């Protein structure tokens, strides 16, 4: 009887029944026989404990249920596979790939040669899968076996890191090209002056020197804009704390952006009352200068540029800078704030543009928790609108 549990309640009932039978004047030997048979039935009906492991199906159900609870709230997409069949997918995985994948063959769900190769490996491993959820997506996929039948698939989204790396590479390449152009011009003219010496006519020498000076200033402007963009990007997550009157900044910076030669083309429409915002004075001055300079540079030389400040909806200060030039084609509008992007490179370089002005403006607006909008109609001109939250009273 080793290992069997003792049915205490059943034995007590059998003994009580025996006593009742004795009081009913039933023969003693019959009562003893009944009690013994009753008690023996308990041992016969109770199976001995088994040392064998639970049936595989019970273990599977426990593992699946436990793993579902474990992975469901993970921030990373995690899937549980039975051989190659997806039996569980947490919320992040269902959002990234789709709820339809549960029950599918993982090779069909992923449909990527690199992912299929990882699923076919006998052990675990990790691979980078490009284009899993979109043309430019980049995922790190890890396979972790649980036993010979079950495994976990973990996905880590590396798309942002790849985009940052690609943007850094593009920026370095574009900056190198932009710096190389004026440097090549300066070196070429100076080599010519050094080789020809006094044999060159004075007028040509003066023209060469003027070109070298112009390219050197262009190079200086480009370096200044690169440094300014770097500073703005480094500070864009730190919201400014200074209380300033946006109107007074616009009046000062718009005049600086126009310069003494273009003041007659500048038209200001400003409110009488102060319009207080929380901002960085130097950056906001740079924002206004860049917008006014662009509008005067690329607008029609016979038309004015209008700078307007007003109060918009949802307690926003609204700055608009409108030119009346040729306008910009619709396909260029989404790319205007990219570094070094130009709708007409030759015209931009001839006007002294670096291709960084609107990129700087965008980052300044983002730092001030504002919004930048650019609209344009060809033949009518371009309107740049900046919205920045007003200070609450």
pLDDT higher at 303 or 161: 303
Q: 49 near 3, Cβ under 8 Å? A: yes
Closest CA to 378 of 326, 334, 342, 343: 326
Task: Kindly list the distances between the CA atom of residue 134 and the CA atoms of 89, 130, 162, 256, in Å, as whole numbers in the listed order.
Answer: 19, 8, 14, 46
Mean of the per-residue pLDDT values for the chain? 82
Q: 247 near 275, Cβ under 8 Å? A: yes
Q: 126 near 141, Cβ under 8 Å? A: yes
Alpha-carbon torsion 273, 277, 281, 283, what sign? negative
In this prediction, residue 319 carries a pLDDT of: 96
> pLDDT digits over 97-130, tens only?
888 889 899 998 888 899 989 988 888 899 988 8
> pLDDT digits over 188-201, tens only?
989 888 888 778 88
- Asked which of 19-33, 277-291, 324-338, 366-380 is least confident by mean pLDDT, the reply is 19-33
> What are the beta bridge partners of residue 28?
none
CA distance 239 to 365: 11
Q: Is the pTM of this model over 0.75?
A: no
> pLDDT digits over 119-178, tens only?
888 888 999 888 888 777 889 999 989 888 888 999 998 887 766 666 666 667 777 777
Listing DSSP states for 184-241 in one string gives HHHHHHHHHHHHHGGGS-HHHHHHHHHHHHHHHHHHHHHHHHHHHHHHHHHHTTS---
CA distance 239 to 225: 21
> pLDDT digits over 240-296, tens only?
889 999 999 999 999 998 888 888 999 999 998 999 999 999 999 999 999 999 899
Local structure of 153: helix, strand or coil:
strand
Residue that is written with structure tokens 């009273």 in the block: 393
Tell whether the model's pLDDT for residue 380 goes beyond 60: yes
In this prediction, residue 393 carries a pLDDT of: 61
């Amino acid at each position: 009887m080793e290992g069997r549990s003792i049915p205490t309640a059943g034995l007590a009932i059998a003994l009580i029944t025996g006593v009742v039978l004795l009081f009913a004047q039933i023969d003693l030997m019959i009562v003893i026989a009944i009690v013994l048979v009753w008690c023996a039935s308990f041992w016969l009906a109770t199976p001995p404990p088994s040392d064998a492991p639970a049936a595989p199906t019970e273990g599977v159900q426990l593992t699946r249920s436990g793993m579902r609870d474990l992975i469901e709230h993970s921030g990373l997409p995690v899937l549980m596979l039975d051989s190659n069949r997806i039996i569980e997918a947490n919320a992040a995985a269902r959002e990234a790939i789709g709820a339809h994948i549960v029950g599918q063959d993982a090779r069909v769900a992923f449909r990527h040669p690199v992912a299929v190769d990882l699923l076919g490996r006998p052990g675990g491993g990790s691979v980078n899968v490009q284009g899993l959820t979109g043309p430019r997506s980049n995922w790190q996929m890890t396979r972790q076996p649980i036993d010979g039948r079950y495994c976990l698939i973990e996905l880590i989204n590396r798309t942002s890191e790849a985009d940052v790396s690609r943007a850094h590479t593009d920026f370095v390449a574009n900056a190198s090209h932009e710096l190389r152009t004026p440097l090549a011009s300066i070196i070429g003219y100076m080599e010519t002056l050094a080789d020809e010496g006094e044999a060159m006519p004075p007028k040509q020498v003066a023209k060469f020197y003027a070109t070298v000076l112009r390219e050197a200033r262009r190079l200086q402007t480009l370096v200044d804009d690169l440094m300014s963009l770097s500073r703005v990007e480094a500070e864009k997550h730190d919201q400014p704390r200074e209380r300033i009157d946006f109107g007074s900044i616009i009046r000062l910076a718009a005049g600086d952006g126009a310069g003494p030669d273009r003041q007659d083309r500048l038209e200001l429409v400003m409110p009488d009352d102060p319009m207080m915002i929380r901002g960085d004075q130097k950056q906001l001055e740079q924002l206004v200068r860049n917008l006014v300079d662009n509008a005067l540079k690329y607008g029609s030389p016979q038309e004015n540029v209008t700078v307007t400040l007003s109060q918009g909806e949802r307690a926003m200060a609204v700055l608009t800078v409108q030119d009346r030039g040729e306008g910009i084609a619709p396909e260029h509008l989404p790319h205007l704030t990219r570094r070094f992007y130009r709708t007409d490179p030759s015209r931009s370089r001839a006007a002294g543009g670096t291709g960084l002005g609107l990129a700087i403006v965008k980052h300044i607006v983002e730092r001030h928790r504002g919004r930048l909008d650019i609209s344009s109609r060809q033949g009518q001109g371009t309107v740049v609108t900046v919205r920045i939250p007003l200070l609450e009273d």
